[in-house]
A and B are shown apart, each in its own frame.
Chain A
Amino acid sequence: MDHWDQFNGFVEQQADVAFGACKTSYQLRLACEELLSNIIRHAPGAHIWLEAYRYLEPVPGLLVQIEDNGPHFDPQLDAPRHIDITQPIDERPIGGLGLFLVQNSVDQLDYAWINDRNRYRLLVHQPQD
């Protein structure tokens, strides 16, 4: 957790510059926080690289790329996760919310194992007012 605030602060800053302080920025920050938390849990001590790119085509937006050199770990981000919101709170599992929020907070998401690194890419489009 040494650089936790710097990582999350970087994402927040990039999102605010791209979109302003809005729901889209909040959701991108949330998705990145959940992924970083997942990486720290599954690959303690791994190095993490964080980059952000603005893009203009096909629609303007922001891409955040997160890489880590921990063990190969595919969180199956393309497999839809569902939460039974009708389930009584007493029966709700404590876990399972993080990756659900990742999937439901960005416009596009992918995972790849490249050059001995786990690579996650999160794309969010510029909100249409």
Chain B
Amino acid sequence: MILVLLVLLPFLGAVATALVSRGGRDACAVTAGVATAVALGLLGALAPGVVAGEVVQASVGWVPALGLQASFFVDALGLTLAGLILGVGLLVVVYARYYLAAADPPGRFYAFLLLFQGAMLGVALSSNVLLLLVFWELTSLSSFLLIGYWRHLPEARRGARMALTVTGAGGLSLLAGLLLLGHSAGTYELPVLLQRREAIQGSPLYLPALLLILGGCFTKSAQFPFHFWLPQAMAAPTPVSAYLHSATMVKAGIFLLARLWPVLAGTEAWFLIVTTTGLVTMLVGAVSALFEDDLKGLLARSTISQLGLLTMLFGLGTRMGAVVGVFHLVNHALFKAALFMNAGIVDHEAGTRDVKGLGGLGSLMPVAATVAVVASAAMAGVPPLNGFLSKEMMLEEAAHTRLLGQAWLVPVVVTVGATLSVAYALRYVVRVYFGARRGEALASGQGAGAHHDSCAPPEASRGPEAGRGGGAAAPHDPPLGMGAPSVLLGALALVVGLFPETLAGPLVRAASAAVIGGAPPGFTLALWHGFTPALGMSVVALVGGAGVLAVHGGAEKVWRRLGVPDPAGWFEAGLGAAVKGSRKLTLAIHDGSLQRGLALLVGTAVMVGFVGFGGAKHTAGERPPMPVEMLTVLAWVLLVTATGAAVVMHRRRYLPLLFMGVVSMIMALAFIFLSAPDLALTQVSVDVVTILLLLLALNLLPQQSPPETTRRRRVRDAVLALLGGVGMGSAAWAVMTRERKTLADYYWTHAKPEGGGTNVVNVILVDFRGFDTFGEIVVLGTAALAIFALLETANRGEAGRRLAQWKPGRPLSPERYPLILIAVTRLLLPFAIVTALFMFLRGHDHPGGGFVAGLVVAIAVLMQYLASGFDWADRRVRPDHHALIGWGVLVAALTGLGALVFGRPFLTSAFWHPRLPFVGEIALSTAMVFDAGVTLAVVGAVMLALAQLASASKRAKQWAEKRERGEHGGAP
């Protein structure tokens, strides 16, 4: 259970941080820090056992109905990544406290950071691969939020979008791959799945699964050709880069490669794809890092290169390769996080991240310079630092690897890669901290506008940090809280290098045993292995790297002239084209013509109906028809007449509204006649509200519909209408003339004993199908909010221009608020409310219910608006309409959830029929509370729609009056 708590802690911390966000940076940082530290403590408690080879497992029910368990396990590999996540996480929390400006909302930052931390922990510790996927997607989402933290910056939004698209697409690929994997293994539990190597590799699904899973891993870990999103993501605040883009998220892909190593690795396909991708990425990243001027961009590209190295190591498929991979994974996290923090400090102090605008900071910022030297040296693989150890072991592994039958290929490529990494590491240190001091440029901020190559976002080095730090003051070492994390990481890089066997040996051994799924090969972590080929390659790399830096200036000119392709730009262009294409396609299918849409809809329905009809038996029904009364015939004639009249007079828009009222009234009478009083009540009240809202809308619309149909279209519509109507009518006839068992009997017998009410309609609405009702009020509320949103912007753009030109189409009566109407409606208000209350209370047993009650209340209030004017009524209607909708949905949802507390299904109602003195038996039911929620939502939705429509015409009228005054004023 500790394990579950461990994964939950960051999420709880995220909520807590969001709650204290008003407390400022300190409160947020402390909350986030405490959550992280406690989680780290829990992990530390588990660590000794895990390193000794124990595997801790825990699981809780996830979807028990499907047999899904949310299961977690921690072995040494998971422990390693989790340790990095929480350890570096804690340092980043501290660093960010000093890094964020006072204007940056700290609650949002830390909540997102902890959200990401929880997601990453989930990836590291999930035992069920489906659960792992959920967390994997969550890391993509939270990193999107973090990269786009400065949402006012276009490049931040662009970078966030690109990262989300690339890693999200990779996530989909991974989903498919893991499903195939789980299918061929017959299990989704990792500890079991990892034992089934033969089943997986023998399956025909192995290759597709491998390709899809690699798609996920390579996008996440920025492998060629998906590497381009990582430099774009540098628009994120630097703590985010230090955390996500060096230590954790980009390692998720590598982690998964390591995790699935026992079952996927060792085949020719794995070796070829993974090793080659790793090597190419290593070179591409290293070369582009060499010519990148933005400090963070440089580090991002070096990260790509180092990730390529890691991928290559796991791709080798040898046990020693896995050992080195695990070791370098940790080492890279240590020195790269330190370097990112260092770049942030430089940016903060000097006001720019442009290498060309920096120099000679070493004497001004001795501590930062020392950290940079140590961490860069580790990155370059200089003894005695940790990077040297793992790079040496990597070179040793590469030295005897044959790729494509060539013994020289891999050693040469990795030596070139190592040489380049020495060069870019040296460039970082030398150009920023040594050489001529460019103080003037820094102080005046000129450096910030320096030239960039096309790959870097042009504003990257002029990020929001620029100018917030140094300003006119000379750069100096940062405050303790900002400097200490990077110092600590740099120191770790050093001591791991000095005492590797003591500090890292046990963990690396245990973690690589977890990767391999068996005993690791014998090895010792040591600085000196004697004169080996690897040592020679190291020396070549160091000397060569220094040489490359010496000729860097000339090389850069050549590089610029080459015009290197810009995959990020291609991606954006491709995305733009896709958006354009889909818009075109949408417009071709759906051009906004309602007639056309309706014709297609009805046409499809007619076609489907007739196809179904063709395949059925065509016997007539046996049920005898009911006797026809004169009255029903008359009502039918009136109904048809009114409908026909509406069609004939449809151009004069007001008249169809009148006929709609008639049709609706006859429908209500029909409901009565067919013993459906509930429906009649609803019909009557819905009709009134509809007419009011339509009249309100009609005010701003043309009063006549222009003739715009061609003869051909009229014929088409007539045919469709005839077919549709005849089809629908005969279908209804066919159903009604047949005896069949219906659901009604079930409801009749169960309404009272299970729902506690005798009005079956109401019991169905609030109990049996309560979930549907809940969905409907949500839809109703959403529709009202959509009306609000659409009309709120109606005075802008094209609609606004037309609204401004609006004027009443005919002379108006001067009497705005007729006195008799005012008197009557005010008098009627309490009666209407009492009626509504009555309908509401009796609804469970007799016709009525929350929906009708809500409508009656709404009508009672609408009457006041109608009679006494908008301003008068609006002043007296206290509750906010939005809040009403919200409360309605909330009350309904909470009532439904209340049943869960008692272990019953959602929306099960409890009821109680107490007998009160004088009043008699009354029916109490939790369904009534649910019904109250329905009432609130209905009132809110109707009122919101009314208020918005009314205020739109009010605006139009004010403009018209203003225009008139202007004309009159201008005339004399």
Same complex origin of A and B: no
